[in-house]
Amino acid sequence: MTQWIVELVPVNPVKAAADGAMLPLIVFSLAFGAALARVDVERRAALLHVVGGVQEASLVLVRAILSVAPLGVFALALAVAARLGIAAAGALAGYVAVVVGITVAYCLLVLYPAAVWFGGVSFRTFARAALPAQAVAFSSRSSLAALPAMLEAGRDRLAIPASFSAFYFPFAVTLFRSGAAIAQVIGALFVATLYGIPLGPAQLAAIAATTVVTTFSIPGIPGGSIIMIVPVLLAAGLPAEGVGLLLGADTIPDMFRTATNVTGDVAAGVILARREGHEPVRDGASDPARPTPPGGE
């Protein structure tokens, strides 16, 4: 374990990138970002401008890869099916069922109770407020597409001030993806099981650490999180081509993990708003978006 911790700091970050040592590369990137925050604003802006261009080009490249991904998925699935037979289909079905089951359980047993207990709203109020954003996320498989519904839910149904929600929800949609973290861990364990690779404590720790960091950089496009599982696989020493098998069965898991992402963002928004002193909407209270008529409702 001591050696594993020492190796997290790369001697040569360029070599770490070339060798696919993703976790040391992530550690270097975080340290470099922290150092960049202390650089003069004008010089920092020049570098950030270049990085922004690289990011935009990378998103274009990711979209192009996803557009031709079915061909690669078919080739990978054909080889696995020839080796494992009908068991491969059963394994993928099991993977889908586990992702769906755990994301639903996480919403019902963790996110909803957290919003009720720490956010001060009733279960019914929170469920009704989050439902439109969940529906958009489920159908579009994009957290960004659900952002307008999240803003509306915070303003009209949860009485979150516009000054708070206008900053928080875009920030949360960009960075926080609890559903993706769940799916990436399950996907890595599935690939390890499918290829018969045992995982020791160090590999499990690498999966957990890499998952936490990579979820902050997932592009807000359908299927974006499944692409970002590659660093998780490489950090644990698992074959990166396993992502092709996950991509072939990713539509249904992507729907549920995107809905979980949105639910977590709304729950955290309610909790943070309550901590800032904003009172939540109670059952039976009038909708803040609808003025009460002179004679009452």
**More confident: 173 or 115:** 115
pLDDT at 249: 77
Token readout for 62 is 């990711």
Assess whether 25 and 94 both reside in one domain.
no
Assess whether 151 and 209 both reside in one domain.
yes
Q: How many domains does the chain have?
A: 2
pLDDT at 52: 86
Assess whether 120 and 17 both reside in one domain.
no
Given a cut of 80, whether residue 56 has pLDDT beyond it is yes
Token readout for 274 is 């309550």
Token readout for 46 is 């020049």
Assess whether 152 and 249 both reside in one domain.
yes
pLDDT at 153: 86
Residue 227 lies in a domain: yes
Residue 14 lies in a domain: yes
Residue 153 lies in a domain: yes
Tell the burial category of 110 from Cβ atoms under 10 Å away from its Cβ (0-12, 13-18, 19+): middle
DSSP string, 251-294: HHHHHHHHHHHHHHHHHHHHHHHHHTTPPPPPTTPPPTTSPPPT
Assess whether 26 and 80 both reside in one domain.
no
**More confident: 88 or 174:** 174
Assess whether 15 and 143 both reside in one domain.
no
- The boundaries of the domain holding residue 111 are 69-275
SS3 2: helix
pLDDT at 172: 86
Residue 295 lies in a domain: no
Assess whether 160 and 32 both reside in one domain.
no
Instruction: Compute the distance between CA of residue 40 and CA of residue 297 in angstroms, rounded to an integer.
Output: 58
Instruction: Compute the distance between CA of residue 47 and CA of residue 42 in angstroms, rounded to an integer.
Output: 9
Instruction: Compute the distance between CA of residue 54 and CA of residue 140 in angstroms, rounded to an integer.
Output: 26
Residue 289 lies in a domain: no
Of the pLDDT bands very low, low, confident and very high (cuts 50, 70, 90), residue 291 is: very low
SS3 83: helix
Contact 244, 189 (CB under 8 A): no
Assess whether 10 and 86 both reside in one domain.
no
pLDDT digits (tens, 9 = 90+) for 263-277: 999 999 999 888 876
Instruction: Compute the distance between CA of residue 51 and CA of residue 57 in angstroms, rounded to an integer.
Output: 10
The secondary structure of residue 121, as a DSSP letter, is: -
Instruction: Compute the distance between CA of residue 232 and CA of residue 251 in angstroms, rounded to an integer.
Output: 20
Mean pLDDT of 280-292: 46
Tell the burial category of 189 from Cβ atoms under 10 Å away from its Cβ (0-12, 13-18, 19+): middle
Instruction: Compute the distance between CA of residue 32 and CA of residue 207 in angstroms, rounded to an integer.
Output: 22
Residue 44 lies in a domain: no
Radius of gyration of the chain (CA): 21
What is the amino acid identity at position 239?
A: P
H or E stretch covering 132: helix 123-140
SS3 239: coil
The mean-pLDDT minimum among 70-84, 119-133, 149-163, 267-281 falls in 70-84
Instruction: Compute the distance between CA of residue 170 and CA of residue 144 in angstroms, rounded to an integer.
Output: 8
pLDDT at 280: 55
Residue 291 lies in a domain: no
What is the amino acid identity at position 18?
A: A
DSSP string, 150-191: HHHIIIIIS---HHHHHHHHHHHHHH--HHHHHHHHHHHHHH
Assess whether 9 and 107 both reside in one domain.
no
SS3 222: coil
Assess whether 7 and 82 both reside in one domain.
no
Residue 288 lies in a domain: no
* CATH number of the CATH domain containing 102: 1.10.3860.10
Q: Would the pTM of this model clear 0.85, i.e. be above it?
A: no
Instruction: Compute the distance between CA of residue 133 and CA of residue 234 in angstroms, rounded to an integer.
Output: 33
pLDDT at 82: 66
Assess whether 32 and 73 both reside in one domain.
no
Residue whose entry in the numeric block shows the structure tokens 């696989």:
233
Q: What percent of the chain has pLDDT over 90?
A: 18
pLDDT digits (tens, 9 = 90+) for 131-182: 999 999 888 888 888 888 898 888 888 888 888 888 888 888 878 888 888 9
Assess whether 101 and 21 both reside in one domain.
no
